[in-house]
C-alpha cells in the first residue's frame, strides 16, 4: 500500500471501557450506503476494539431494544435533519439512528471517533445534524496527471490522459465520507482540451466507476465542463448560450451523460475568467450562461455550479480606479434573482484570491435571491504550499461568523450558505482540496488537519477550531496528552505565525509570480493582475474608500462605514482598505513600520518554537510522520527567514526608518 490511512489509521483502544456489546450488531435498514455503513462498522470494531462482529438483519423498523446489542436503524425522528444522526445508549443497547442511509454511515464514523477518544459508550447521547447541505470537494486535477496548485504529488484520478481506479481511490472515498463530504468534483475548473471529453463516450464509462464508488459512500460526483464544448467537441461555430443549436447540443450531450451516469450531481463552470471562454464573448450575461446549463440539467435534478471568480486580468497598474476586489460584486449583483433554482453561485471567501488575510466577499451580503456556495482553498496556494504549517480552520470560522447584515441584524455567512437566511437548500461550502498521490496524501502531514477540519466544519461549523484540531490529532497520531496538547498548540498558532512573517495587515500578495511560494515584494506590483500594495516612501496600502476605488461601498451598513473609516476599520485589514503612513500609530502603540519589523522578527522566532515543540515529540509520533514533518519545518524556517529579510529590507529602504531595536536589516 503506497498511501497512508491518514485519520482512519485506527489504533487499538487502550482504555478500560467495556465495549463487548459492539460485537453484536442488529441492522434495521437497507441500501448500498447501509452496506458501506455495516462494513465500516465491522472494520472500526475490529481494528479499534479487536472484536469480530456478528450481524443480524431485521425487517422491522422499530425502536425496541434488545439488551446488549448495537442497533443500527432508520428512524423517523423530528430532531434529525438531512443526513443527521443520533447515538444513544438506552436499555442496555447502543442505538445508531438516522433518517437517511448516509446518516447511518456518518453515525458509524462518529462512533469510531468516540472509540478513539476513549468514551464510555454507556454515556453516549448525542444528535448531530449537518449544517451545510452541500459539503463539496473541488479537485483541480488535470488528465495529464498534474494538479493545478497541487503540493502533494500528482493526481490519483488521472495519469497520462487515462482514468485511474484502484485501492487508493476507494481509500479516498472512505476518508471523504468519514468527514461528511457529500459532493466531489474530480477535474480542474480550468478544463483543457482532453478534460472537455470527460462528458463524452471516450471517458463516460470510466467516469461512471467513480460515480458508483462515491455513491456507496453517500457522495455525488460532479464534473467541470468547458463552456465552449459546443465548439471544441460539437463542431458548432459558437458557444452562445442563447443559440438554439448550442442549447440542443448541450441537451443531447447531457441526456447521454445521465443515461450512463444517472447519479451525477451536475456540472461546475469557470467562465470568462483568466482566459476561460464564457457568455461575455456573445454579449450575454453570466446569468444567461448559467441558466442555459441549469435548464439542461434540471430534468435530471442536476445542479449547475457557476463560479464568480470573474475579473479583468489585463489591468494597467497605473489605473488606480479599477479594482479587482470589486469585480465579482460588479458582475453578479445586478443579476440577483435571475438565476434558475438549480443554479448556485460559487463565491471565493474573499474578493481577491485566498490570501492569508482578506475581508469577506461582499457578495454574500449582497445576493438576496440567489443560491450561493462559499469557496475556500484547502490547498495552501498562498499560505505556505503545504511546506509551511498553516492551520486554516480559524480563518474559515472567522469567515462563517462574519455578519453580512444581508437581511437585517443577524445574517452571518454561515446563515447564508447554510440556507438559514434565505430558506434555500441549494447551498453549502466547497473546498479546493490539498491531496495528491504522495504517501501521506497532503505533502505535509500537518496539512491533513485542514482537509479533515474542512469536512468537520461543513458538518458542524460550531465546533471550535481547537476541538477539531484535537480530534484530528487523536485520530491521526495518538491520544497521548502531550502529543495532543503540543500538536494542537502548533496548529492553533500557525496561521498567525504565517501572517506575521509574510504580508502585513491584509495587504496580501508580494509572492513569487506564478509559483506563489516565497517573497517577491514587487513581483506583481507592475503586472496586469490587479494585485497591488502601492508602497512608497511615506506608507503603503490600497485606498478602497469612496475617495479611492469605492470598494467599501459594496458592503451593507454598518460594515460599509466600519471599513470606510480608518479609525474603525479592523486593524488586521488596515492596508487592504486604506493607504497608511509608516508613522501611523497602531493600537499596540507602535508605528506601522515598527509593526512590520517586529512581526517579521516574531514570525521567524515562532517558527523556531514550533520546530522545537515538534522535536519534543520524538518517539511519541510514528517515526516516518515525525521525520517528514521535521523536514517540512526546516523548509518553513528557510522560507520564514527569506520573507523576514526581504520584507524588512524593502520597507527599510523604502521608508528610511530604522528599526527601534536595531536588529539586522539589510
Ligand atoms: C484554477 C487562482 C489560481 C489559479 C486558479 C484560479 C481559480 O488564480 O492561481 O491557479 O485556477 O485561482 O480559482 O480559478
- Secondary structure, 3-state, 5-16: CHHHCCCCCCCC
Q: 646 in helix, strand or coil?
A: helix
> Which residues of the chain fall short of a pLDDT of 70?
15-17, 60-65
> Distance between CA 396 and CA 412 in Å, rounded?
12
What local confidence, expressed as pLDDT, does residue 506 receive?
A: 98
Supply the pTM of this predicted model: 0.98
Q: How far is the CA of 261 from the centre of ligand 1 (A)?
A: 28
Atom of ligand 1 nearest to the CA of 189: 1
Residue 313 Cβ contacting ligand 1 at under 6 Å:
no
From 142, 274, 351, 378, the mutation candidate for ligand 1 (largest count of ligand atoms within 8 A of CB) is: 274
Q: Is 430 in the pocket of ligand 1 (CB under 6 A)?
A: no
For residue 432, the ligand 1 atom closest to its alpha carbon is 13
443, 436 Cβ separation under 8 angstroms: yes
The distance of Cα 306 from the centroid of its chain, to the nearest Å, equals 17
Cα gap 442→437, rounded to integer Å: 8
The pairing of beta strand 85-90 with beta strand 125-128: antiparallel
For ligand 1, the distance from its centroid to the CA atom of residue 408, given in whole angstroms, is 33
Kindly list the distances between the CA atom of residue 123 and the CA atoms of 11, 85, 90, 596, 607, in Å, as whole numbers in the listed order.
21, 16, 9, 51, 41
Q: Distance between CA atoms of 454 and 446, rounded to whole angstroms?
A: 14
- As a whole number of angstroms, the distance between CA 7 and CA 563 comes to 41
Ligand 1 neighbourhood includes 529 CB (under 6 angstroms): no
Residue 382 neighbours by CB under 8 Å, 6+ apart = 353, 354, 355, 356, 508, 511, 516
In order, the DSSP letters of 88-123 are EEETTEEEEEESSHHHHHHHHHHHHHHHHHT--GGG
Q: 280: Cβ–Cβ under 8 A, 6 or more apart, which residues? A: 272
Q: Return the pLDDT at 13.
A: 87
| 146 Cβ below 6 A of ligand 1 | no
Instruction: Give CA–CA dist 622/650, Å, rounded.
Output: 42
Q: Which atom of ligand 1 lies nearest, measured to the CA of 375? A: 13
Our mutation pick for probing the ligand 1 site, out of 309, 350, 354, 377, counting the most ligand atoms within 8 A of Cβ, is 309
What distance in Å separates the CA atoms of residue 474 and residue 7, rounded to the nearest whole number?
8
pLDDT value at position 64?
A: 61
How far is residue 465's CA from residue 391's CA, in Å, rounded to a whole number? 9
Residue 164 Rama label (left phi>0; alpha psi -120 to 50; beta): beta
**Is 189 close to ligand 1, i.e. is its CB under 6 Å away?**
yes
Closest ligand 1 atom to Cα of 273: 14
Q: E strand or H helix at 470, and its extent?
A: helix 465-476
**Angle, CA of 387, 392 and 394, to the nearest 5°:** 145
- Strand ranges (E), 225-342: 266-269, 303-307
Spatial CB neighbours of 195, under 8 Å, sequence gap ≥ 6: 142, 143, 187, 188, 224, 226
The number of residues in the chain equals 666
Task: Summarize the chain as % helix, strand, coil (round to 5).
Answer: 40, 15, 45
Q: How many CB atoms lie within 10 A of CB 237?
A: 11
Indicate the SS3 state at residue 191: coil
Closest CA to 187 of 212, 158, 162: 158
Catalytic residues: 274, 353, 381
Task: Return d(Cα 216, Cα 39) in angstroms, integer.
Answer: 11
CB 432 within 8 A of CB 140: yes
Contact 147, 436 (CB under 8 A): yes
Predicted local confidence at residue 62, as pLDDT: 59
Peptide bond into 558 cis (omega under 30): yes
Pocket of ligand 1 contains residue 148 by CB under 6 Å:
yes
C-alpha of residue 273 to centroid of ligand 1, in Å: 9
- Look at residue 16 in the predicted model and tell me its pLDDT: 61
Angle at 497 between CA 491 and CA 498, to 5 degrees: 95
Give yes or no for residue 309 CB within 6 A of ligand 1. Answer: yes
How would you class 525 by CB atoms within 10 Å of its CB: exposed for 0-12, middle for 13-18, buried for 19 or more?
A: middle
As a whole number of Å, the CA-based R_g of the chain is 25
Q: Considering only CA atoms, which residue is closest to atom 13 of ligand 1?
A: 309
Amino acid 60: pLDDT: 60
Q: Does ligand 1 come within 6 angstroms of the Cβ of 272?
A: no
Q: Provide the pLDDT for residue 1.
A: 74
Return d(Cα 391, Cα 374) in angstroms, integer.
18
Q: 126 CA to middle of ligand 1, Å? A: 40
| Centroid of ligand 1 to alpha carbon of 138 (angstroms) | 12
Q: What is residue 63's predicted lDDT score, i.e. its pLDDT?
A: 53
Quick one: pLDDT at residue 65? 63
By most ligand atoms within 8 Å of CB, the mutation choice from 141, 313, 353 for ligand 1 is 353
Beta-carbon contacts of residue 264 (< 8 Å; ≥ 6 apart): 211, 220, 221, 222, 223, 257, 258, 300, 302
Can you tell me the distance from the alpha carbon of 110 to that of 124, in angstroms, rounded to the nearest whole number?
Answer: 11
d(CA 158, CA 143): 5
Nearest to 507 by CA among 544, 474, 482: 544
Among residues 569, 586, 585, 588, the alpha carbon closest in space to that of 577 is found at 569
Mention every residue, 6+ apart, whose C-beta is less than 8 A from residue 431.
136, 137, 138, 375, 376, 377, 378, 451, 454, 458
Amino acid at each position: 500500500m503506497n498511501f497512508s490511512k491518514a485519520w482512519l489509521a485506527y489504533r487499538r483502544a487502550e482504555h478500560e471501557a467495556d465495549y463487548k456489546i459492539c460485537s453484536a450488531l442488529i441492522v434495521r435498514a437497507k441500501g448500498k450506503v447501509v452496506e458501506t455503513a455495516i462494513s465500516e462498522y465491522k472494520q472500526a470494531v475490529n481494528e479499534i476494539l479487536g472484536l469480530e462482529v456478528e450481524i443480524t438483519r431485521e425487517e422491522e423498523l422499530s425502536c425496541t431494544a434488545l439488551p446488549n446489542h448495537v442497533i443500527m436503524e432508520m428512524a423517523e425522528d423530528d430532531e434529525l435533519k438531512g443526513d443527521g444522526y443520533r447515538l444513544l445508549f438506552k436499555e442496555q443497547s447502543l442505538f445508531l439512528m438516522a433518517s437517511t442511509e448516509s446518516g447511518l454511515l456518518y453515525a458509524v464514523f462518529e462512533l469510531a471517533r468516540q472509540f478513539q477518544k476513549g468514551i464510555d459508550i454507556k454515556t453516549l447521547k448525542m444528535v448531530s445534524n449537518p449544517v451545510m447541505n452541500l459539503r463539496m470537494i473541488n479537485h483541480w486535477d488535470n488528465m495529464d496527471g498534474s494538479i493545478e496548485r497541487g503540493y502533494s504529488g500528482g493526481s490519483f484520478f488521472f495519469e497520462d490522459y487515462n482514468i485511474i481506479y484502484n485501492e487508493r481511490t476507494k481509500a479516498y472515498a472512505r476518508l471523504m465520507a468519514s468527514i461528511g463530504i457529500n459532493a466531489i468534483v474530480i477535474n480542474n475548473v480550468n478544463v483543457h482540451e482532453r478534460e472537455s471529453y470527460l462528458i463524452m463516450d471516450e471517458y463516460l464509462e470510466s467516469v461512471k466507476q467513480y460515480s458508483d464508488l462515491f455513491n456507496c459512500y453517500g457522495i455525488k460526483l460532479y464534473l467541470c465542463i468547458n463552456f465552449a464544448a459546443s465548439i471544441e467537441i460539437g463542431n458548432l461555430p459558437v458557444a452562445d448560450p442563447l443559440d438554439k443549436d448550442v442549447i440542443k447540443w448541450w441537451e443531447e450531450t447531457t441526456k447521454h451523460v445521465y443515461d450512463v451516469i444517472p447519479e451525477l450531481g451536475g456540472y461546475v463552470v469557470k467562465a470568462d475568467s483568466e482566459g476561460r471562454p464564457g457568455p461575455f464573448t456573445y454579449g450575454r450575461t453570466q446569468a444567461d450562461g448559467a441558466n442555459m446549463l441549469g435548464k439542461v440539467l434540471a430534468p435530471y435534478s442536476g445542479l449547475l455550479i457557476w463560479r464568480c471568480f470573474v475579473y479583468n486580468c489585463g489591468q494597467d497598474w497605473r489605473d488606480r480606479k479599477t479594482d479587482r476586489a470589486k469585480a465579482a460584486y460588479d458582475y453578479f449583483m445586478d443579476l440577483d434573482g435571475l438565476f434558475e433554482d438549480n443554479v448556485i453561485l460559487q463565491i471565493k471567501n474573499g474578493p481577491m484570491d485566498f490570501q492569508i488575510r482578506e475581508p469577506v466577499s461582499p457578495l454574500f451580503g449582497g445576493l438576496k435571491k440567489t443560491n450561493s456556495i462559499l469557496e475556500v482553498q484547502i490547498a495552501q496556494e498562498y499560505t505556505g504550499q503545504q511546506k509551511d504549517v498553516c492551520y486554516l480552520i480559524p480563518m474559515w470560522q472567522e469567515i462563517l461568523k462574519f455578519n453580512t447584515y444581508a437581511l437585517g441584524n443577524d445574517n452571518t455567512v454561515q446563515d447564508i450558505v447554510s440556507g438559514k437566511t434565505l430558506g434555500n437548500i441549494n447551498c453549502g461550502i466547497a473546498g479546493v482540496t490539498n491531496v495528491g498521490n504522495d504517501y501521506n496524501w497532503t505533502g505535509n502531514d500537518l496539512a491533513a488537519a485542514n482537509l479533515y477540519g474542512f469536512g468537520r466544519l461543513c458538518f458542524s461549523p460550531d465546533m471550535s477550531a481547537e476541538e477539531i484540531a484535537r480530534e484530528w490529532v487523536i485520530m491521526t497520531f495518538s491520544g497521548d496528552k502531550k502529543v495532543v496538547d503540543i500538536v494542537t498548540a502548533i496548529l492553533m498558532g500557525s496561521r498567525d505565525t504565517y501572517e506575521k512573517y509574510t504580508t502585513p495587515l491584509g495587504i496580501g500578495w508580494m509572492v513569487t509570480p506564478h509559483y506563489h511560494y516565497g517573497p517577491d515584494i514587487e513581483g506583481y506590483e507592475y503586472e496586469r493582475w490587479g494585485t497591488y500594495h502601492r508602497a512608497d516612501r511615506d506608507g503603503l496600502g490600497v485606498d478602497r474608500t469612496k475617495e479611492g476605488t469605492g470598494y467599501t461601498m459594496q458592503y451593507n451598513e454598518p460594515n460599509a462605514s466600519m471599513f470606510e473609516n480608518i479609525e474603525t476599520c479592523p486593524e488586521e485589514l488596515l492596508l487592504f482598505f486604506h493607504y497608511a503612513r509608516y508613522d501611523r500609530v497602531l493600537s499596540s502603540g507602535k508605528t506601522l513600520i515598527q509593526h512590520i519589523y517586529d512581526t517579521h522578527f516574531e514570525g521567524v522566532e515562532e517558527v523556531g518554537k514550533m520546530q522545537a515543540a515538534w522535536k519534543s515529540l520524538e518517539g511519541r509520533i510514528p517515526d516516518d510522520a515525525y521525520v517528514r514533518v521535521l523536514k517540512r519545518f526546516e523548509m518553513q524556517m528557510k522560507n520564514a527567514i527569506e520573507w523576514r529579510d526581504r520584507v524588512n529590507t524593502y520597507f527599510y529602504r523604502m521608508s528610511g526608518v530604522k528599526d527601534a531595536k536595531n536588529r539586522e536589516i539589510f
